[in-house]
C-alpha cells in the first residue's frame, strides 16, 4: 500500500487530462515537441549548471534524461554542479557577481534571488516567445520567480508546499480527525497525552538551522491575520496578533506536545522522530513524504497519512510555498543555448515524466506546474499527493522578497529559538526587541527616508 489515506480537499481538485499525456517515445526525441531548434545551431556547446544536491531524485532524474535526450536533440551538453547545500548560497553569490564565471544556468532559493536579480537574464521575452503558460504556476511560485515585480528572473523548478504528515493509527486511537487548525494540534496533543500512549503528539523544529524554525511560524503569523511588515515596511510581527500567533507556535514545546529536544532540532531531525515512530505528527515540506512511506518501521509506513498544513482557528489557512527557481546568468557567453535548455528542462512533458519515473533513486513526488499537479495519472501513481499539494498552493504565500530579508532572517530565527529554549522568556519582550533589530536593518537600507 502506498499511502493508507490522503485526507480532504481532493474533492476540490479537478483532475485535468493533459494534452501531452500520451506523448510517445518518438515524440520525446523530437525537438519540435519542446520547441527546440532542430538545426542544432548550438551543437558542441557545453553549459555549466550551478546547483547543489545532485542526489536529490528530481535533480538526478533531470540530469539523466538531459544527457540521454536533450543532448541528442540539440548537441548541447550540460554539466550539473554538486555543491553541498550548506555552502551553496555563498557560492551562488560569488559566481553571480563574477564577470568571468564558468556557469551559465543557476538554481536559486526564493530568499536568495533578491541578491542576484541584477545578474540574471530577464526571461519575459523568452516566456512569451516559447509559449510558456505563466498561469500554470501558482501565485507563490510566480511571486518568488519575479520578486513581485514585472520581471521574470527565473522559472519555477523545484517547489514545496507544507503538508501535515501523520500516523493515522494514533489519531484513530484517540478518536481525532487530522488537525485542520493549529489549535486542533494542541487538542490532539492533549488527547494523546490523556490516553497514556508513549508517543510525542508532534515533532516540531525550533533549532537554528538555515531559518527552518521560521517555516511553520510564518503559517501561524499569516493565518492569524498579521505579517512581518506593514505596507510601509514597518515590522508588525510583534503586534497583538503576532504575539498570539507566536505563543501558539511555541506552545507545542512549552506544553510538552513536542519533545524538549525539539528546541535544537532541524527539519530532518524532527521528521526522523515521526518516521521512527516516536511522534504522531510532523509539518514539513512534501518531498519528505517518501521518508515516511519508505521507512523500515512497518507501523509507520502502514499508517502514513498526509493532509494540508493546519491553518488558524477562525482565520486563514495560509502557509509558505517554498521555491527553487532556475535562471540564466546575464554574463553567460552561451545564453541562447542556455535558453534552449530551459525550454526542455521546465517543459511540462519533462516535469511530468520526472514525477512519473519509478526508477530507484530517481522516483520523486516533486512538481511545480499546476497542470502536472492536477494530472490524473500523476495523482493515481502518488495516491493523490499532488492534489493535496495543489490545494495547499492555492493559498500559499512567499516570504518578503527584498534583499535585506536575508539579513533579517537570523534575527527572527534567533527570537524563535530563544522563546523555545527559555520557558521564562516573555514573547512580547522578545518580539519587540527583534522588531527593533529588524527596523534598524530597514532604516539603514533607506526604507524610511523621506
Domain locations in the chain?
15-160+322-393, 162-319+404-444
The CA-based angle 300-301-307, given to 5 degrees, is: 85
Q: How far is it, in rounded angstroms, from Cα 20 to Cα 348?
A: 8
pLDDT at 147 over 80: yes
pLDDT tens per residue across span 349-381: 999 999 999 998 899 999 999 999 999 999 999
Average the pLDDT over 245-269 and give the result.
97
Chain centroid to Cα 425, Å, comes to 31
Domain 162-319+404-444 in the same topology as domain 15-160+322-393: yes
**pLDDT for residue 21:** 54
Average the pLDDT over 173-202 and give the result.
97
Average the pLDDT over 440-447 and give the result.
96
pLDDT at 11 over 60: no
Q: Which CATH superfamily is domain 162-319+404-444 in?
A: Periplasmic binding protein-like II (3.40.190.10)
Band (15; pLDDT cuts 50, 70, 90): very low
Instruction: Give the range among 134-138, 207-211, 223-227, 315-319 with minimum mean pLDDT.
Output: 207-211
Q: Is the dihedral of CA 105, 106, 107, 112 positive or negative?
A: negative
pLDDT at 286 over 90: yes
Band (319; pLDDT cuts 50, 70, 90): very high
**pLDDT for residue 138:** 95
What class, spelled out in words, does domain 15-160+322-393 have in CATH?
alpha beta
Q: 55, 321 in Cβ contact below 8 A?
A: no
pLDDT at 1 over 60: no
**pLDDT for residue 22:** 61
Amino acid at each position: 500500500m502506498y499511502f493508507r489515506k490522503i485526507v480532504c480537499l481532493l474533492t476540490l481538485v479537478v483532475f485535468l487530462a493533459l494534452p501531452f499525456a500520451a506523448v510517445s517515445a518518438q515524440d520525446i526525441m523530437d525537438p519540435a515537441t519542446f520547441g527546440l531548434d532542430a538545426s542544432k545551431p548550438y551543437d558542441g556547446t557545453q553549459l555549466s549548471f550551478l546547483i547543489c544536491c545532485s542526489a536529490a531524485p528530481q535533480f538526478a532524474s533531470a540530469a539523466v534524461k538531459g544527457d540521454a535526450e536533450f543532448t541528442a536533440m540539440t548537441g548541447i551538453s550540460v554539466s550539473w554542479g554538486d555543491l553541498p547545500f550548506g555552502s551553496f548560497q555563498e557560492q551562488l553569490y560569488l559566481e553571480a557577481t563574477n564577470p568571468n564565471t564558468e556557469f551559465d544556468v543557476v538554481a536559486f532559493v526564493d530568499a536568495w534571488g533578491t541578491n542576484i536579480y541584477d545578474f540574471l537574464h530577464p526571461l519575459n521575452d523568452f516566456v512569451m516567445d516559447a509559449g510558456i503558460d505563466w498561469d500554470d504556476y501558482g501565485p507563490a511560485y510566480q511571486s518568488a520567480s519575479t520578486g513581485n515585480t514585472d520581471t521574470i528572473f527565473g522559472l519555477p523548478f523545484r517547489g514545496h508546499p507544507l503538508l501535515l504528515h501523520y500516523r493515522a493509527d494514533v489519531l484513530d486511537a484517540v478518536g481525532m480527525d487530522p488537525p485542520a487548525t493549529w489549535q486542533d494540534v494542541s487538542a490532539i496533543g492533549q488527547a494523546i497525552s490523556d490516553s497514556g500512549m508513549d508517543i510525542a503528539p508532534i515533532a516540531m523544529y525550533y533549532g537554528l538551522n538555515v531559518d527552518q524554525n521560521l517555516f511553520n511560524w510564518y503559517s501561524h503569523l499569516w493565518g492569524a491575520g498579521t505579517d512581518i511588515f506593514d505596507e510601509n515596511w514597518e515590522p508588525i510581527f510583534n503586534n497583538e496578533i503576532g504575539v498570539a500567533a507566536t505563543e501558539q507556535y511555541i506552545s507545542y514545546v512549552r506544553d510538552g506536545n513536542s519533545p524538549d529536544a525539539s528546541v535544537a532540532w532541524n527539519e530532518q531531525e524532527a521528521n526522523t522522530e515521526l518516521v521512527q515512530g516516536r511522534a504522531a505528527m510532523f509539518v514539513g515540506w512534501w518531498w519528505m513524504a517518501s521518508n515516511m512511506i519508505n521507512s523500515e518501521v512497518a507501523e509507520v509506513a502502514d499508517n502514513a497519512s498526509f493532509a494540508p498544513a493546519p491553518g488558524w482557528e477562525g482565520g486563514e489557512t495560509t502557509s509558505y510555498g517554498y521555491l527553487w527557481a532556475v535562471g540564466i546568468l546575464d554574463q553567460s557567453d552561451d545564453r541562447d543555448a542556455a535558453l534552449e535548455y530551459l525550454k526542455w528542462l521546465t517543459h511540462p512533458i519533462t516535469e511530468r515524466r520526472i514525477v512519473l519515473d519509478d526508477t530507484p533513486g530517481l522516483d520523486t513526488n516533486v512538481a511545480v506546474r499546476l497542470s502536472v499537479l492536477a494530472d490524473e495519472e500523476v495523482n493515481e501513481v502518488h495516491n493523490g499527493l499532488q492534489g493535496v499539494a495543489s490545494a495547499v498552493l492555492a493559498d500559499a504565500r512567499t516570504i518578503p522578497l527584498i534583499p535585506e530579508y536575508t539579513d533579517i532572517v537570523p534575527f527572527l530565527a534567533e527570537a524563535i529559538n530563544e522563546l523555545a529554549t527559555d520557558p521564562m522568556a516573555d514573547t512580547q519582550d522578545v518580539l519587540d526587541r527583534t522588531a527593533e533589530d529588524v527596523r534598524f536593518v530597514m532604516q539603514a537600507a533607506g526604507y524610511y527616508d523621506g
